[in-house]
C-alpha cells in the first residue's frame, strides 16, 4: 500500500524524519518496503539503520521554485513558442521561452490575474529531460530559442519526476496554491515522499491512510485527527426514492445508501488526482475518484450507481436494492467483461430486474456510472485490460448521456465469504482485497458520509437529505478483561500499567482500569481482536509492538528442561550419509515431485514393472507438467540428475536419502525413507601420470563394494545375503537383492541399458550405470550398537593359497561358505584374489583362488596342523560343491 | 705359483682403483674373491704345492685375500658415498606437478546447513522431531488457527492433492500439533523440539522462490516460557550460526498460530550491516518468523493456555545458506549440478 506523507499529515503531525518513521512502522509490523521521494532529499537514516540510496531528482531549493506567470507573449519568430513572463520572487519578471500548449490560450491576452502558478527552474537547475524516454537528466543552460535568449524554464510534471506527463507545463490551481509566495522553494510546495507498506493479512484496519496515521500517532505520541463526516445535504430527502432488502445478514450485515443529484461528471480536482496517483490509482472522473479516494483514506470500499439506470430498470418506480444469493444457474457479466457462472454462496447486489454487482468485489457491466468522456471505468479499483477497455468503449458510445444522479453504496460483507468468492470466481479488485481482510461494519456509514460530501464538493451536485442504513446484524462490541500480570506472563518482563493504558488508548481502545486489571473495549474499526484468552494475547501483541520489540530484553529459558529423547531414525540416517560420503559418494537432494510417465520409464516398454504397485499422491493443482505427483522412487530422479551432469562430468558417484510416497488405502500416504545410490564412469579418477589411456569403468562390483563397506561401517547386526534377482529396471543377469536376516532391503545392480538410455544416459554397453534403491528403515533397523572388539593377534599367521575349480553355476558365496565352515577356528580369513576361466580349466568350470590366513590365538601353528586343516577344506569343497584342487 | 698370485694381486688392486660403479665392484669381487675367484682358487690349490712351500704360500695367499677384502670394503664404501651423493644431486622432481587426485565425497549443502542448525539447537536442549510431508488440511491449517477460507490462507500458496483435505505441507508448523500430541503427555509435559522437513508451495520457480524447500520449525512449551526467552534464544542461535558479533532485531509481524508474532532479522552476513544488494541495502536479513504460540494452538495441542505458554519459530536453511555463501539462485539446490555441489 502506498502512503503519501502529505496525505498522512492531514491526520497526524509527524515530528520525526521520514526515514525514522519508516523504521518505527516496520518494527511495529507495518513493514515499509520502500520510500519513493518526490523532490525532497532522502534524510539521514536512524542510528544503526541503512537505507538503499535513492537516486531520485532533488529539487534544488534555490533553483527550482514556485513561479507565477503574469503574462504570456507571442514569440516574434515562432508560432509554436510563447514567452512566459514569470515572477519568481526576484526584482523583475523573468522571460521564459516555452512551447507548452497549455499557455497558448493566454498568448497576448495581457496580464493574467490571478497569475498561473507553475514550477520554475533557474539556470543551472537539474531537471529530467522532457524529451528523453530513458530518464536522463540535464542541467539548464542559457541558449537562444529561435533568436530569443533563454536561461530558465517553466516545468512539466515529467521534468520534475512527478509523472510522465509532458504535454504541457504543470499548472497549479490558484485557490489551492495561491497562498505560497512566488519564489517559494518548490520542495515546500509539492515535495513529498510515499511509503510503500507491505500490509499483512491481519492488518486491514491499517490498510488505509487514517489507519496508518493512527499507528503513527500511537508510535510517536502524537494526536490522531479523523476526517470530517459532516455532509451538506440540502436536496429532497432520499427516503422514498429507494429501498433496501437484505436477505442474508450473515453475509451482508450492513448496507447504507446516499443519493446525490445533478452532478457534473468531470475530472476531479488536482489535489485529489495527485493523491490518487501518488497512492497508485489512476484518476477517472470526480465520482469514481471520490469512491477510490475514500477507500484509500478510510479503508471502506464504495460503489456508485447511475440512479437513473436503476429507476429505469424499476420501471420508473423507486428501485429496491436487494442483496441475495444467486438463483440456480444465474450469471453476471462484470465490468471487466468476464461472464461469471455464480456459485451458491456468491452474494449479489441486485434490483428487481436482476443482479447489479458481486457484493463487495466488482460491479456488473449494466449499472455503472456512465461517463462517455473516458474510455475506462475502474470503480472498486478493478484493473481493466485492453479487451475490457474496448468492450466498455464500444458500449459507451451507445450509452445514454453522462450520469446526472448517483446512488452511493457503502456496505459491510462477511470477509471469509468475500475471499471464497474471489477465489472461486478468480477475480480480484481493490475493494475485494480490503473486504476479504475484514472491514468493520461501522466503517460503512463513515465511508458513505465522507464520500458523498466529497462528491458534492467536486461535482456541484446536491446531496439528498438523510441516508438509508440497514444494519440487521450489528457487529458485537468486543470486550477483553486483561490482567496486567498476563502481559508479564507472556512477555517475560514488566511494562508499567500506565504505559499499557497509554498504548491501548492511543490505538483508540476504550480502557477502564480496575485495580490490576484493565477492561478493554475494542474500537469499532477493527475486527482482529478476539475474546477471552485469545483477546488477551491479541492485546499483548498490540502493547508489545507499540512499546517496541527493540526494547524487549533477552533472557535464557529458565523453565524446566523437558525429557530428552534420542531421534534414532535421524541418527542412523546421518550415519549412512557420513559412511557414504567417506566412501567417496556425493549427496544429492532431488525434487520429490515427478510424473507417473517419468517413473514409468524405469521399466522398458512392454515389460511388467517390478516396482511395488500402489497409487500416487497426485496434485490437484500442479504448477508444471513435469511435477504432477509425489515420487515412488529415488531412482528416476537420480537418473535424471546423472544424465544432466553427464554433459560435463564423466565420473559420478551419487547418493540420495529421502522419502518416497505411496498412496495406500489411507487418506495420507506412506512415506518410507529410501536410500538411492548411482555410480557411473571410470573407476579411477584420471591422473596425469597415466596419460590418455582408457580407464576401466565402474560396474556391479564397485557398487557392491560400496554397499559392503556401508554394511561394515553400520555394523548391521543381521545376516547379510545377496541374492540374484530379476527386476524390470535392471540388467537381468546383473542384479541382486540385499537381504538382512532373509528380509529384503532393496535391489541393486546394473541399470537396464534401455532404462538408462530412456533417461538420456545412452545405450553404450561399455558405459554401465549401476544403482541401488534401498528401504533405509530396513537397512538400519538392527545395528550392533555395543561392539565386541577383538584383541590384536600376538601369534604369527601362516599364509596359504588355495585354488578350487567348480562348475560355473556354483556361486562364489557357497565356495567361501564351504571354506570357512571347514576351516574352523584356525582359519582366520579367506580372501578371494582371482577368478579364472580358460585353458587348462575345462569349459563350464571356473577356478576361484583364495588367500587363506591360518592362525591360533595362543601358539605358533605347526606346518602339519595347517596341512590338516587345508586338506579338510579341499575335501569339504569337493564333497559339498564338487570342487577339485587346481593343479 | 706365488709369482702368479702376486701378479694377480697387483692386477686386482689396479683394477679396483678404476672401478666406480657398484655393479663393476661386485663383478670384481666375484672374479677375485668369489667362490671361483682367482684368489679363492689359489688358496684352494695350496694343497697341491710341495709341503715346504705350503705354509708360506698359504700365509701370503691369506694376506692377499684379506688385503683385497679390505680394499674391496674401502672401495665399496667410497662408491656407496659417491652414488648417494649422485642420487641426491640428480633425483630432483618438479614439485609443482599436481599430486595424484584422491576422489572425495561430500554432503549436500542443505544437509550441511541442517546439521549446523541441529547442532546449535541440540546444545540448547531442542531435539529433532520429524513429521510427514503429505499432510491433512486440518493439521496444516485449521488446528493452527487458520480456519477454512480464512484470508490468512493467502499467506501460503498450497499444493492440493486429489484426495480432499490432503495437501503438501506448506510449512513445518503442523509438526507443532503432532509434537504436542506425541510428547506433551496430554498437556502436562514441557516440550523443546525442532521440526525440520521439506515443505512445498505453489509458486513459480525463480531465482528467489522454490516450490520445494526445507524449513526448521522450533517449539518450546512450558509453564514459564516468555517472549524474552524467545528473543534470547533466537539471538543466541544467530550468534552461533552467523558469528558472535551479529546483532539481531525483532520486527512485528503476523502469523495466525503465534500471538504476538514477529520476524527476526540478523545483521547481513555479506556486508555486516553496511548495506548491499543481498540485504536490499537495509543491513538486515530476515532469518525467521516467530512468536508466542497462539492460545488456540496450545489448546489444540492439549495444553491449558492460561497456565502454559510457548514460543515457536520457523527458519529456512537454504535461504540461510544463500545468505551466508552469497548464492544467487535458489534453484541450484535441487538441480544438483556437481559443479555446484562440489564447492561445499
Ligand atoms: Zn548486506
Q: Which of B132, B144, B139, B136 is nearest to B298 (CA)?
A: B144
3 state DSSP class of B65: helix
Q: Which of A486, A529, A501, A519 is nearest to A204 (CA)?
A: A529
- Report the C-alpha gap between B219 and B108 in whole angstroms: 26
CA-based nearest residue in chain A for residue B333: A589
Choose one of B90, B124, B159: the last residue of a domain.
B90
Residue B250 Cα to ligand 1 midpoint, Å, equals 17
Q: From the list A28, A493, A622, which residue is nearest B252 (CB)?
A: A28
Choose one of B32, B60, B90: the last residue of a domain.
B90
Residues B126 and B73 in one domain: no
Q: Which of B224, B215, B214 is nearest to B192 (CA)?
A: B224
pLDDT at A211 over 60: yes
Distance from CA of A416 to the nearest CA of B (A): 6
Q: Which of chain B's residues have a Cβ under 8 Å away from the Cβ of A32?
A: none
Residues B121 and B234 in one domain: yes
Between the two ends of chain B, the Cα-to-Cα distance in Å is 84
Report pTM. Answer: 0.86
| pLDDT band, residue A240 (cuts 50/70/90) | very high
3-state secondary structure A394-459: HHHHCCCCCCCCEEEEEEECCHHHHHHHHHHCCCCCHHHHHHCCCCCCHHHHHHHHHHHHHHHHHH
pLDDT at A553 over 80: yes
- Cβ of residue A558 closer than 8 Å to a chain B Cβ: yes
Q: Is the residue at B101 inside a domain? A: no
- Cβ of residue B96 closer than 8 Å to a chain A Cβ: no
| pLDDT band, residue A379 (cuts 50/70/90) | very low
Residues B83 and B149 in one domain: no
Q: Which of chain A's residues have a Cβ under 8 Å away from the Cβ of B335?
A: 644
Residue B155 Cα to ligand 1 midpoint, Å, equals 26
- Report the C-alpha gap between B320 and B243 in whole angstroms: 13
Backbone angles phi and psi of B185, in degrees to 5: 50, 55
pLDDT at A420 (0 to 100): 92
Residue A806 Cα to ligand 1 midpoint, Å, equals 71
pLDDT at B34 over 80: yes
Q: Is the residue at B95 inside a domain? A: no
- Cβ of residue A545 closer than 8 Å to a chain B Cβ: yes
pLDDT at B93 (0 to 100): 87
Span A70-99, average pLDDT:
93
Q: What domains can be seen in chain A, in order of their start residue?
A: 2-56+193-220 (3.30.56.10), 64-190 (2.40.50.140), 243-470 (3.50.40.10), 479-551 (3.30.56.10), 568-779 (3.30.930.10), 798-885 (3.30.70.380)
- Cβ of residue B278 closer than 8 Å to a chain A Cβ: no
Q: From the list A27, A540, A581, which residue is nearest B252 (CB)?
A: A27
Residues B155 and B188 in one domain: yes
pLDDT at A692 (0 to 100): 77
Q: Do B105 and A583 touch (CB under 8 A)?
A: yes
Q: Do A51 and B98 touch (CB under 8 A)?
A: no
Residues B56 and B173 in one domain: no
Residue B240 Cα to ligand 1 midpoint, Å, equals 19
Q: Is the residue at B198 inside a domain? A: yes
pLDDT at A747 over 50: yes
CA-based nearest residue in chain B for residue A649: B338
pLDDT at A376 (0 to 100): 39
Q: Which of chain A's residues have a Cβ under 8 Å away from the Cβ of B147?
A: 416
Q: Do B226 and A555 touch (CB under 8 A)?
A: yes
Which of A27, A31, A218, A490 would best serve as a mutation to test chain B binding (most B beta carbons within 10 A)? A490
Q: Do B292 and A669 touch (CB under 8 A)?
A: no
Q: From the list A549, A561, A671, which residue is nearest B252 (CB)?
A: A549
Q: For chain B, how many structural domains are there in total?
A: 2
State chain A's mean pLDDT as an integer.
92
Model confidence over A499-514: pLDDT tens digits? 999 999 999 999 999 9
Lowest mean pLDDT among B99-103, B305-309, B333-337: B99-103
Partners of A806 in the β-ladder? A846
| pLDDT band, residue A190 (cuts 50/70/90) | very high
Which of B125, B148, B149 would best serve as a mutation to test chain A binding (most A beta carbons within 10 A)? B149
Are the C-beta atoms of B185 and B146 separated by less than 8 Å? no
Residues B53 and B154 in one domain: no
What is the interface pTM, i.e. ipTM, of the complex?
Answer: 0.87
Residues B271 and B224 in one domain: yes
Q: Which of B43, B40, B63 is nearest to B54 (CA)?
A: B43
Question: Which residues 357-416 on chain A approach chain B with CB closer than 8 angstroms?
Answer: 415-416
Residues B147 and B287 in one domain: yes
Q: Is the residue at B238 inside a domain? A: yes
Beta strands in B169-211 (DSSP E): 191-200
pLDDT at A382 (0 to 100): 52
Q: Which is it for strands A629-630 and A593-594: parallel, antiparallel or unpaired? A: antiparallel
Q: Is the residue at B217 inside a domain? A: yes
Torsion of CA A158, A159, A160, A163, to 10 degrees: 0
Quick one: cell of A656? 540420495
Q: Is the residue at B63 inside a domain? A: yes
pLDDT at A263 over 60: yes
Neighbours of ion ligand 1 (CB under 5 A): B 268, 270-271, 276, 278-279
Distance from CA of B89 to the nearest CA of A (A): 23
Residues B53 and B144 in one domain: no
Distance from CA of B324 to the nearest CA of A (A): 19
Q: Is the residue at B118 inside a domain? A: yes
Partners of A884 in the β-ladder? A805
- Cβ of residue B326 closer than 8 Å to a chain A Cβ: no
Residue B202 maps to which CATH number? 3.30.930.10
Q: Do A549 and B262 touch (CB under 8 A)?
A: yes
Burial B290-310 (b: 16+ CB within 10 A, else e): bbbbbbbbbbbbbbebeebbb
pLDDT at B50 (0 to 100): 83
State chain B's mean pLDDT as an integer.
92
Are the C-beta atoms of A438 and A299 separated by less than 8 Å? no
Q: From the list A50, A423, A621, which residue is nearest B283 (CB)?
A: A50
Q: Do B251 and A651 touch (CB under 8 A)?
A: no
Residue B324 Cα to ligand 1 midpoint, Å, equals 11
| pLDDT band, residue A45 (cuts 50/70/90) | confident
How many CB atoms sit inside 10 A of residue A97's CB? 22
DSSP codes, A520-571: EE--TT-----SHHHHHHHHHHHHHHHH-GGGSPP----SPPPPP---HHHH
Q: Do A51 and B309 touch (CB under 8 A)?
A: no
Distance from CA of A793 to the nearest CA of B (A): 32
- Report the C-alpha gap between A332 and A342 in whole angstroms: 7
Q: Do A592 and B147 touch (CB under 8 A)?
A: no
- Cβ of residue B162 closer than 8 Å to a chain A Cβ: yes
Q: With 0-12 CB in 10 A as exposed, 13-18 as middle and 19+ as buried, what is A102?
A: middle
Q: Which of chain B's residues have a Cβ under 8 Å away from the Cβ of A568?
A: none
Span A864-881, average pLDDT:
93
Q: Which of chain A's residues have a Cβ under 8 Å away from the Cβ of B138?
A: none
Q: From the list A201, A415, A559, which residue is nearest B223 (CB)?
A: A559
Are the C-beta atoms of B183 and B191 separated by less than 8 Å? yes
Q: Which of chain B's residues have a Cβ under 8 Å away from the Cβ of A630?
A: 133-134, 168
pLDDT at A378 over 90: no
Residue A48 Cα to ligand 1 midpoint, Å, equals 13
- Cβ of residue B93 closer than 8 Å to a chain A Cβ: no
Residues B199 and B245 in one domain: yes
- Cβ of residue A534 closer than 8 Å to a chain B Cβ: yes
Beta strands in A752-838 (DSSP E): 769-775, 798-807, 827-836
pLDDT at A582 over 80: yes
Span A319-323, average pLDDT:
96
Model confidence over A380-427: pLDDT tens digits? 545 455 555 444 444 444 455 688 999 999 999 999 999 999 999 999
Q: Which of chain A's residues have a Cβ under 8 Å away from the Cβ of B161?
A: 617-620
Residue identified by cell 556425493 is A586
Question: Which residues 192-251 on chain B approach chain A with CB closer than 8 angstroms?
Answer: 192, 198, 200, 202-205, 211-212, 220, 222-229, 231-233, 235-236, 247, 249-251
pLDDT at A377 over 60: no
Residues of the domain holding B195: 109-341
pLDDT at A413 (0 to 100): 96
| pLDDT band, residue A622 (cuts 50/70/90) | very high
Residue B267 Cα to ligand 1 midpoint, Å, equals 8
Residue A21 Cα to ligand 1 midpoint, Å, equals 22
Residues B161 and B308 in one domain: yes
pLDDT at A719 over 90: yes
Helix or strand (DSSP H, E) at A141: none
Choose one of B90, B121, B152: the last residue of a domain.
B90
pLDDT at A586 (0 to 100): 98
pLDDT at A52 (0 to 100): 75
- Cβ of residue A553 closer than 8 Å to a chain B Cβ: yes
Q: Do A559 and B229 touch (CB under 8 A)?
A: yes
Q: Is the residue at B100 inside a domain? A: no
Which residues, 6 or more positions from A602, have their beta carbon under 8 angstroms from its beta carbon?
A609, A611, A633, A635, A636, A639, A728, A729, A755
Q: What percent of chain A has pLDDT over 70?
A: 96
Q: Do B251 and A685 touch (CB under 8 A)?
A: no
Q: Do B250 and A27 touch (CB under 8 A)?
A: yes
Residues B38 and B70 in one domain: yes
pLDDT at A394 (0 to 100): 43
Amino acid at each position: 500500500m502506498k502512503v503519501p506523507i502529505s496525505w498522512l499529515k492531514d491526520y497526524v503531525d509527524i515530528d520525526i524524519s521520514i526515514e525514522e518513521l519508516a523504521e518505527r512502522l516496520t518494527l511495529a509490523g507495518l513493514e515499509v518496503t520502500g520510500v519513493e521521494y518526490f523532490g525532497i532529499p532522502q534524510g539521514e537514516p536512524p542510528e544503526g539503520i541503512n537505507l538503499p540510496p535513492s537516486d531520485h531528482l532533488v529539487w534544488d531549493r534555490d533553483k527550482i521554485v514556485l513561479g507565477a506567470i503574469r503574462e504570456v507573449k507571442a514569440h516574434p519568430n515562432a508560432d509554436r513558442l510563447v514567452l512566459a513572463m514569470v515572477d519568481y520572487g526576484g526584482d523583475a519578471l523573468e522571460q521564459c521561452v516555452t512551447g507548452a500548449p497549455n499557455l497558448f490560450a493566454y498568448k497576448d491576452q495581457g496580464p493574467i490575474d490571478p497569475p498561473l502558478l507553475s514550477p520554475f527552474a533557474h539556470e543551472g537547475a537539474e531537471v529530467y529531460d522532457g524529451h528523453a524516454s530513458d530518464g536522463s537528466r540535464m542541467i539548464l543552460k542559457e541558449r537562444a530559442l529561435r533568436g530569443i535568449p533563454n536561461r530558465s524554464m517553466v516545468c512539466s510534471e515529467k521534468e520534475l519526476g512527478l509523472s510522465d506527463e509532458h504535454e504541457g507545463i504543470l499548472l497549479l490551481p490558484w485557490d489551492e496554491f495561491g497562498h505560497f509566495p512566488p519564489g517559494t522553494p518548490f520542495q515546500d510546495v509539492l515535495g513529498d515522499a510515499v511509503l510503500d507498506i507491505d500490509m499483512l493479512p491481519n492488518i486491514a484496519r491499517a490498510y488505509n491512510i487514517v489507519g496508518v496515521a493512527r499507528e503513527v500517532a500511537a508510535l510517536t505520541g502524537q494526536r490522531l485527527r479523523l476526517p470530517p463526516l459532516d455532509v451538506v445535504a440540502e436536496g429532497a430527502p432520499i427516503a422514498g426514492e429507494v429501498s433496501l432488502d437484505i436477505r442474508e445478514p450473515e453475509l451482508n450485515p450492513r448496507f447504507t445508501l446516499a443519493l446525490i443529484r445533478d452532478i457534473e461528471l468531470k475530472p476531479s480536482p488536482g489535489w485529489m488526482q495527485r493523491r490518487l496517483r501518488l497512492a497508485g490509482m489512476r484518476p477517472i472522473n470526480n465520482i469514481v475518484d471520490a469512491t477510490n479516494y475514500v477507500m484509500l483514506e478510510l479503508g471502506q470500499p464504495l460503489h456508485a450507481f447511475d440512479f437513473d439506470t436503476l429507476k429505469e430498470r424499476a420501471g420508473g418506480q423507486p428501485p429496491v436494492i436487494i442483496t441475495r444469493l444467486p438463483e440456480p444457474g444465474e450469471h453476471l457479466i462484470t465490468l471487466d467483461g468476464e461472464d461469471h457462472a455464480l456459485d451458491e454462496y456468491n452474494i449479489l447486489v441486485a434490483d428487481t430486474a436482476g443482479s447489479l454487482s458481486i457484493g463487495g468485489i466488482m460491479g456488473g457491466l449494466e449499472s455503472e456510472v456512465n461517463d462517455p468522456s473516458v474510455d475506462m471505468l475502474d470503480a472498486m479499483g478493478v484493473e481493466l485490460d485492453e479487451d475490457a477497455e474496448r468492450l466498455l468503449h464500444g458500449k459507451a458510445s451507445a450509452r445514454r448521456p453522462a450520469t446526472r444522479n448517483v446512488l452511493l453504496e457503502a456496505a459491510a460483507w462477511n470477509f471469509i465469504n468475500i475471499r471464497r468468492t474471489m477465489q472461486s470466481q478468480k477475480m480480484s479488485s481493490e475493494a475485494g482485497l480490503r473486504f476479504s481482510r475484514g472491514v468493520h461494519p461501522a466503517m460503512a456509514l463513515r465511508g458513505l458520509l465522507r464520500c458523498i460530501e466529497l462528491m458534492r464538493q467536486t461535482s456541484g451536485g446536491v446531496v439528498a437529505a438523510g441516508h438509508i442504513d440497514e444494519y440487521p446484524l450489528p457487529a458485537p462490541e468486543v470486550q477483553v478483561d486483561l490482567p496486567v500480570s498476563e502481559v508479564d506472563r507472556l512477555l517475560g518482563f514488566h511494562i508499567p500499567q500506565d504505559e499499557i493504558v497509554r498504548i491501548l488508548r492511543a490505538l483508540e481502545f476504550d480502557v477502564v482500569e480496575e485495580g490490576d486489571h484493565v477492561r478493554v473495549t475494542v474500537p469499532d474499526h477493527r475486527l482482529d481482536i478476539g475474546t477471552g484468552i485469545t483477546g488477551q494475547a491479541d492485546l499483548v501483541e498490540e502493547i508489545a509492538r507499540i512499546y517496541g520489540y527493540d526494547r524487549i530484553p533477552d533472557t535464557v529459558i529458565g523453565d524446566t528442561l523437558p525429557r530428552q529423547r534420542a531421534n534414532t531414525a535421524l541418527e542412523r540416517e546421518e550415519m549412512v550419509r557420513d559412511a557414504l560420503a567417506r566412501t567417496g559418494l556425493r549427496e544429492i537432494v532431488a525434487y520429490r515431485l515427478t510424473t507417473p510417465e517419468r517413473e514409468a520409464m524405469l521399466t522398458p516398454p512392454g515389460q511388467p514393472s517390478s516396482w511395488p504397485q500402489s497409487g500416487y499422491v497426485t496434485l490437484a493443482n500442479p504448477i508444471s507438467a513435469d511435477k504432477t505427483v509425489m515420487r515412488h522412487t529415488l531412482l528416476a530422479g537420480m537418473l535424471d540428475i546423472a544424465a544432466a551432469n553427464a554433459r560435463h562430468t564423466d565420473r559420478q558417484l551419487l547418493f540420495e536419502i529421502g522419502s518416497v510416497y505411496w498412496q495406500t488405502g489411507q487418506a495420507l500416504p506412506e512415506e518410507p525413507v529410501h536410500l538411492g545410490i548411482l555410480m557411473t564412469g571410470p573407476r579411477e579418477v584420471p591422473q596425469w601420470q597415466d596419460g590418455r589411456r582408457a580407464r576401466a569403468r565402474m560396474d556391479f562390483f564397485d557398487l557392491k563394494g560400496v554397499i559392503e563397506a556401508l554394511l561394515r561401517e553400520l555394523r548391521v547386526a543381521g545376516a547379510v545375503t545377496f541374492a540374484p534377482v530379476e527386476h524390470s529396471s535392471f540388467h537381468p543377469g546383473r542384479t541382486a537383492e540385499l537381504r538382512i536376516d532373509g528380509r529384503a532391503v532393496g535391489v541393486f545392480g546394473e541399470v537396464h541399458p534401455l532404462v538408462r538410455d530412456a533417461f538420456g544416459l545412452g545405450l553404450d554397453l561399455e558405459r554401465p550405470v549401476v544403482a541401488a534403491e534401498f528401504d533405509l528403515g530396513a537397512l538400519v533397523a538392527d545395528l550392533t550398537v555395543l561392539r565386541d572388539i577383538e584383541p590384536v593377534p600376538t601369534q604369527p599367521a601362516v599364509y596359504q593359497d588355495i585354488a578350487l575349480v567348480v562348475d560355473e553355476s556354483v556361486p562364489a558365496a557357497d565356495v567361501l561358505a564351504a571354506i570357512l565352515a571347514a576351516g574352523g577356528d584356525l582359519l582366520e580369513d579367506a580372501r578371494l584374489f582371482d577368478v579364472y576361466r580358460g585353458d587348462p580349466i575345462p569349459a563350464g568350470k571356473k577356478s576361484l583362488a583364495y588367500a587363506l590366513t591360518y592362525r591360533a590365538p595362543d601358539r605358533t601353528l605347526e606346518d602339519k596342523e595347517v596341512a590338516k586343516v587345508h586338506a579338510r577344506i579341499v575335501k569339504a569343497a569337493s564333497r559339498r560343491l564338487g570342487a577339485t584342487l587346481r593343479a | 705359483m706365488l709369482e702368479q698370485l702376486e701378479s694377480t694381486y697387483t692386477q686386482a688392486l689396479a683394477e679396483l682403483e678404476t672401478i666406480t660403479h657398484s655393479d663393476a665392484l661386485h663383478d670384481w669381487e666375484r672374479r677375485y674373491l668369489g667362490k671361483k675367484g682367482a684368489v679363492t682358487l689359489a688358496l684352494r690349490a695350496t694343497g697341491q704345492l710341495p709341503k715346504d712351500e705350503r705354509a708360506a704360500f698359504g700365509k701370503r695367499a691369506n694376506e692377499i685375500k684379506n688385503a683385497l677384502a679390505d680394499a674391496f670394503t674401502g672401495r665399496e664404501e667410497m662408491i656407496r658415498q659417491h652414488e648417494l651423493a649422485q642420487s641426491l644431486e640428480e633425483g630432483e622432481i618438479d614439485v609443482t606437478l599436481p599430486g595424484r587426485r584422491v576422489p572425495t565425497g561430500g554432503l549436500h549443502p542443505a544437509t550441511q546447513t541442517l546439521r549446523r542448525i541441529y547442532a546449535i539447537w541440540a546444545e540448547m536442549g531442542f531435539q529433532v522431531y520429524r513429521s510427514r510431508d503429505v499432510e491433512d488440511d486440518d493439521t496444516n491449517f485449521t488446528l493452527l488457527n487458520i480456519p477454512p477460507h480464512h484470508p490468512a490462507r493467502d499467506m501460503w500458496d498450497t499444493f492440493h492433492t486429489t484426495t480432499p483435505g490432503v495437501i503438501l505441507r506448506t510449512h513445518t508448523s503442523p509438526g507443532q500439533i503432532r509434537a504436542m500430541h506425541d510428547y506433551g503427555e496430554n498437556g502436562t509435559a514441557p516440550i523443546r523440539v525442532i521440526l525440520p522437513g521439506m515443505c512445498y508451495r505453489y509458486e513459480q520457480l525463480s531465482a528467489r522462490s522454490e516450490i520445494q524447500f526445507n524449513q526448521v520449525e522450533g517449539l518450546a512449551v512450558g509453564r514459564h516460557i516468555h517472549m524474552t526467552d524467545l528473543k534470547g534464544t533466537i539471538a543466541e542461535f544467530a550468534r552461533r550460526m552467523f558469528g558472535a558479533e551479529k546483532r539481531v532485531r525483532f520486527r512485528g509481524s503476523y502469523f495466525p498460530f503465534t500471538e504476538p508474532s514477529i520476524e527476526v532479522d540478523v545483521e547481513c552476513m555479506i556486508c555486516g550491516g553496511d548495506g548491499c544488494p543481498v540485504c536490499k541495502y537495509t543491513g538486515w536479513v530476515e532469518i525467521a518468523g516467530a512468536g508466542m504460540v497462539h492460545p488456540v494452538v496450545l489448546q489444540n495441542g492439549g495444553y491449558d493456555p492460561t497456565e502454559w505458554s510457548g514460543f515457536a519459530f520457523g527458519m529456512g536453511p537454504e535461504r540461510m545458506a544463500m545468505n551466508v555463501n552469497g548464492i544467487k539462485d535458489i534453484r541450484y539446490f535441487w538441480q544438483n549440478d556437481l559443479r555446484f555441489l562440489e564447492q561445499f
